[in-house]
Amino acid sequence: MCGRFAQIFVEQDLEHIERILNQATGVDQGLIEMWSDTYPATKAAYNIAPTQYASIIHTPSTNRIALTQAHFGLIPSWAKDRSRSSSMINARSETISAKPAYRDIYRSRRCLLPINGFYEWQKLASKIKQPWYIFRADEEPMLLAGVCDTWLDPEHGHCEVDSFSLITADANEFMGDIHHRMPVVIEPESVRSWFDPSAESREVRSLLKPANEGVLAAHRVSNRVNTTQHNDPTLLKPDSDAPPSTLWG
């Protein structure tokens, strides 16, 4: 599962993402400027939760990359309202190609969610849930696999609302001690295939797997992250007062 994450990019992070996309799809040089309009530096988000908005990368047309603010929790284009979106934050990799809400957009509207890291809650023997912050071991931005759709809001003049779900897989060994599921991480060398509308289904499915061991790192964080209104840099700091768990003692 993946229900909380952080997007707090500095220019160096944006340049790293631009290089990845440029190598994969040949994006225009103005990507960072486009991103600046979509993701203002003054609005760093340390604790994005379901039904809030985040910046996603998608391909609305061939050879074009778009950076869009999208609602976290899919609102299918055919939905009457947003009522089910909070329960559609994650799509299981094992069934995404068959589920009615996902099968079409899985083929045609795959997206990436660039993040600094995500949070997961570990169940301890004492029935306490310990939050962890998970990030790339190389400290580069992480690209999570997702699918997106556009819904016309009938209550606001049928304006377009973009939304997305993240794709999850069984946890790898590293994550397994925290939670049994994890988001699918797309590595830079796989971005081209992920966005290629002509890619064979077998090739796309091969990307829906747990991250390789050694890709991720993690540390315990404060229970302050449990409250979605908390949104500040201290949420990412290791919590030395956290109770011990079975991951690294």
The catalytic site residues sit at 2, 120
Q: How far apart are CA 45 and CA 54, in angstroms?
A: 9
Which residues contact residue 200 at a Cβ distance below 8 angstroms, ignoring those fewer than 6 apart? none
Residue 61 pairs in a beta bridge with 64
Residue 209 Cα distances to 59, 82, 140, 141, angstroms: 22, 29, 20, 19
What is residue 184's DSSP assignment? P
Please, what sign has the CA dihedral across residues 242, 244, 246, 247?
positive
Single-letter amino acid, residue 138? D
Close Cβ partners of 230 (under 8 Å, ≥ 6 residues apart) = 46, 47, 224
End-to-end CA distance of the chain: 23
Residues whose CB falls within 8 Å of the CB of residue 23, separated by 6 or more in sequence, listed in order:
188, 191
Q: Are 146 and 109 in contact (CB under 8 A)?
A: no
Q: List the beta strands (DSSP E) in the chain.
A: 4-7, 45-48, 53-61, 64-72, 90-92, 110-115, 117-123, 129-136, 142-153, 159-170, 181-183, 216-220
